[in-house]
Amino acid sequence: MRRGGRAADYGGGPAAIETLLRYGVRFDRDTTGALSLGLEAAHARRRIVHATGDGTGRAIMRALSDAVRAPPSITVLEGLEARRLLVVDGAISGVLATSSSSTVLLPTGRVVIATGGVGGLFLHSTNPRGAFGQGLALAARAGAELVDMEFVQFHPTALDTDASPLTLVSEAVRGEGATLVDETGTRFMEITPGKELAPRDVVARAVWRHISQGHRVFLDARHALGSDFARHFPVFAASCAIAGIDPAIRPIPIRPAAHYHMGGIKVDQAGCSSLRGLWACGEAASTGLHGANRLASNSLLEAVISAGWVADSLSGAPAGQGRPHVAPAVPPPADPTPIRPILSRAAGVMREPDALTDAAAALLPMAQSAGMESDPALVALMIVIAALQGRESRGAHFRIDVPRSKASYENGCRSRLGRLCTPRR
């Protein structure tokens, strides 16, 4: 099932920001006291709210986790990892979870998956190493439908160091006028429409091609921001300082890195998955909002809005019967280490079918095994198969052998031949 070409109908952005303000998130304001709006890649105007420049996610997390801990009606279980969903008669009936010392069976008829992205399945990623799609493996093994798995977004500008995860250089830096240059000082994006603020996939491919040709790539903020850099981007400036880089006087070395997953657990506009009793929101869910290529800074907003849908839907849903019959065997702790080189080689910024086929052959036995690599291999396999089946290039999914989207080459055929011809498959 594929729907990456179309964004779902959405609304509620301003209301979501109001809600976050009520929970105490302190978004940056301008000198008049109004919310300060930033410009990011592929946005037509300044519309992004931030907190402490580049610390928005952290500020939201802090406020919401304080809010969750306040009421006695919410029990927070920390240090537990969900390892399997239990299903009875086609509906959720419980969660098997483990900590470092014990296994817990939680009977419930209602589960919400909000386990984040898949970047940790790649060698180079901005995501925490633990974000390797555990929730997607849980949902898939329980029988829920997943969608758009090939749409992994690569951020064009991660700080090129040996760190893991790589530090993100926010698009807002380019929004403030920083330019992409190579080691000779050539601004290689100058001829591309939109230049440095072209959509992420376009910039990521341009950077990837340039690196593949043997260049090093840098983000040059010396003229645009200079000594103001640390004031605009204090969190990132601190990371640069640790790496021994001062963006005010030296271009910042960058490379593309796996950053965001548009695909995931297919949900409707109430956040319901195809499996009774299972909801999903945030990056683990695929709502269709982002199409095949998320616009910068839309994900936190989507996470807040889709979590609201889930809350509304849950409050109206019967509690269901948590009645796991037999607890399944506890799988060993998941380890994506052997998966990373396979997936990175095959399903990176530019993909080609032979490498994808080889990766699928390597991943299948791992996914079927009972080893530590099994769950990460299953998620990687779903990405690879979707990338093989998506015989076109669309948004973040770029196939070297079919560099255009189906619609564009169908239209190309139409205008050239005056009739619709069958697209290449």
Ligand X SMILES: Cc1cc2nc3c(=O)[nH]c(=O)nc-3n(C[C@H](O)[C@H](O)[C@H](O)COP(=O)(O)OP(=O)(O)OC[C@H]3O[C@@H](n4cnc5c(N)ncnc54)[C@H](O)[C@@H]3O)c2cc1C
Catalytic residues: 200
Helix (H) or strand (E) holding 170: none
- Helix boundaries (H) for 29-156: 56-69, 134-142
Does residue 179 sit in helix, strand or coil?
strand
Q: Smallest distance from the beta carbon of 314 to ligand X, in angstroms?
A: 16
Gyration radius (Cα) of the chain, Å: 22
Task: Single out the residue of 64, 114, 123, 314 in contact with ligand X (rule: CB under 6 A).
Answer: 114
Question: Does the protein bind ligand X through residue 105 (CB under 6 A)?
Answer: no
Q: Name which position in 157, 179, 286, 297 contacts ligand X (CB under 6 A).
A: 297
CB nearer ligand X, residue 79 or residue 403: 79
Among 13-21, 266-274, 292-300, 373-381, the segment contacting ligand X (CB under 6 A): 292-300
Residues in Cβ contact with 361 at an 8 Å cutoff, skipping those fewer than 6 apart: none
Question: Which residue in 37, 82, 235, 385 binds ligand X (CB under 6 A)?
Answer: 82
Regarding 344 and contact with ligand X (CB under 6 A), the answer is: no
Number of chain positions touching ligand X (CB under 6 A): 23
d(CA 382, CA 363): 10
Contacts with 400 (C-beta within 8 Å, 6 or more apart), sequence order: 350, 351, 352
Stretch that binds ligand X, among 110-118, 196-204, 235-243, 343-351 (CB under 6 A): 110-118
Q: Return the residue of 108, 127, 273, 393 that touches ligand X, per CB under 6 A.
A: 127
Q: Pick between residue 43 and residue 205 the one whose CB is nearest to ligand X.
A: 43
CA quadruple 116, 122, 124, 130: dihedral sign: positive
CA distance 119 to 234: 24
Q: Which two tokens stand for residue 172?
A: 């807002």
Least Å distance between CB 254 and ligand X?
Answer: 14
Among 79, 130, 143, 412, binds ligand X (CB under 6 A): 130
Sequence-separated (6 or more) residues with CB below 8 Å from residue 388: 353, 356, 357, 360
Measure CA 189 to chain center: 24
Tokens coding 117: 């992205």
Q: Which residue is nearest to ligand X (CB)?
A: 282
CA distance 37 to 55: 15
Minimum CB distance to ligand X, residue 60 (Å): 8
239 binds ligand X (CB under 6 A): no
The three-state secondary structure class of 425 is: coil
299 vs 405 by CB, closer to ligand X: 299
Give me the 11-50 binding string for ligand X, x by CB under 6 A, dash otherwise.
Answer: ----------------------------------------
Q: Please report whether residue 148 would count as binding ligand X according to CB under 6 A.
A: no
Smallest distance from the beta carbon of 370 to ligand X, in angstroms?
18
Least distance in angstroms from the C-beta of 95 to ligand X = 9
Residue 357, number of CB atoms within 10 A of its CB: 13
Binders in 49-78 for ligand X, by CB under 6 A: 56-57
The nearer residue to ligand X, 116 or 156, going by C-beta atoms, is 116
In order, the DSSP letters of 280-321 are E-GGGEE-STTTTSPPTTHHHHHHHHHHHHHHHHHHTS----
Both structure tokens of 156: 């064009």
> Which residues bind to ligand X, rule: CB under 6 A?
56-57, 81-82, 114-116, 126-127, 130-131, 134-135, 168, 260, 282-284, 297-300, 303
